[in-house]
Amino acid sequence: MIEKSDSFLIILSAPSGGGKSTILKEILQRMDNVDYSISYTTRAPRGEEQNGVHYHFVNEQEFDQRRAAGDFLEYAKVFGKSWYGTSISYIKSRLALSRHVIMDIDVQGASQIAATDIPYVKIFVIPPSMDVLKERLVKRGTDSIEDIQRRLQTAKKELACIPDYDYLVINDLLEDAVQNVMSIIRAEENRVTRFKQPMQGFLGEEK
């Protein structure tokens, strides 16, 4: 019998406003073997965001306690304002059940995960152009003009990290982007390195 180690971490990164959260939501609705890693953050909720659903909203003291206890797979301070972190205990518990875990994090957090022994695939998502990104940030209506300009400048720096990723998805039409990410996940499930001695498993005990 052929055995396979088929669970891994799916990392989605994108400039702010690039659409990774929307793609992630679609993936969770369409794939029943994928769980969402809810990050911890010290920032305040936005709009209709709910604690324990979109993020675990905590104060800096609790965040520091979790970091000191080694509970974060990765953590980072974003835009010099708020801390974000990913619980390593949650991810390992889901992978142990042969389930994938998907998360949306910035390039700094993704680079930290790449240095661990957690199996992963990294996908970078970008709109078709900087003009489209700016338009989406403006339409979002959650940031000031100054914040939008800062996010656009950060986006230019993040683009330099694209070569560090396994895949690049252009988020022009949402459905196409979602299908591309799903195709990547399915292809990665069948990567040869995820199989445990496939030849021996296939042959078994020949009679």
Report which DSSP code applies to 38. Answer: P
Summarised one tens digit per residue, pLDDT across range 134-174 is 988 888 877 788 888 988 998 999 999 999 999 999 999 99
CA–CA separation, 204 and 180 (whole Å): 36
Q: CATH number for the 3-37+99-203 domain, one of 3.40.80.10, 3.30.465.10, 3.40.50.300, 3.40.190.10?
A: 3.40.50.300
Q: pTM for the whole thing?
A: 0.81
Task: Report the chain's C-alpha Rg in angstroms.
Answer: 18
CA-wise closest residue to 100 among 40, 50, 165, 27: 27
- Count CB-CB contacts under 10 A for residue 121: 20
Closest CA to 111 of 8, 7, 6, 13: 13
62, containing H or E segment: helix 60-68
pLDDT digits (tens, 9 = 90+) for 73-123: 888 887 778 999 988 888 999 999 999 999 988 888 888 887 788 899 999
Lookup result for tokens 């990774």: 20
Q: Distance from CA of residue 144 to its chain's centroid?
A: 26
Question: pLDDT at residue 207 above 60?
Answer: no
Average pLDDT in the chain: 89
Angstrom CA distances, 177 to 12, 59, 124, 145, stand at 12, 35, 11, 28
Q: Indicate the domain borders of the chain.
A: 3-37+99-203
User: What's residue 138's pLDDT?
Assistant: 87
pLDDT at 181: 97
- The position carrying tokens 């989406």 is 136
Length of the chain: 207
Tokens representing residue 24 in the block: 């992630």
